[in-house]
Homo-oligomer: A and B are copies of this chain.
Amino acid sequence: MKTLTTSIPAIELQASAWLNVDKPIKLSDLLGRVVIVHTFQMLCPGCVSHGLPQALRISNTFSEEDVVVLGLHTVFEHHSVMGPEALKVFLHEYRIHFPVGIDQEVAGSSIPLTMQAYDLRGTPSIILIDKQGRVRLNHFGGIDDLMLGASIGQLLSE
């Protein structure tokens, strides 16, 4: 099993806008619940075929009172064709109903702000945050359901 050893306090997600939700998500409001952040780009094949379907499965498997699933659109390439309007259509067509933040652009850099803060290597990436608001997993690429489920189960029972 993936050892969940890191315990860095999770930095707030820096989103220029949030979709699928009425007001901005603050991690500090979610203390007491396990939070899983799926970072993605809408034109990243691995995100579309693996990361986002897994996020939807998590969202459908666990109660929202136990596990909160968030998306974060961390565009670091092809910015002009993955803007907010395109993302809205994408979320609608793919029936992604959980909150999705648009990672804040940084002047003079192709890497957006939260992606920099969390030192993410690419998309898809998964950030797992425990009930006390600490980052326990920061994973780039695919991770299978059994392993991710076990990590979630471990954090739930802490």
Chain A residues near B (Cβ < 8 Å): 1, 43-45, 48-49, 57-58, 61-63, 66-67, 78, 80-81, 83, 85-86, 89-90, 93-94, 144-158
Contact = CB atoms under 8 A, between A and B. Distances in A.
Contact of A61 (B43, B81, B146): B146
A62 B152 contact: no
Contact of A89 (B57, B63, B78, B152): B78
22 contacts: A1-B62, A1-B67, A1-B153, A43-B89, A44-B93, A58-B146, A61-B146, A81-B83, A81-B86, A81-B89, A145-B149, A146-B146, A146-B152, A147-B149, A148-B149, A149-B150, A149-B153, A151-B153, A153-B154, A153-B155, A153-B156, A157-B157
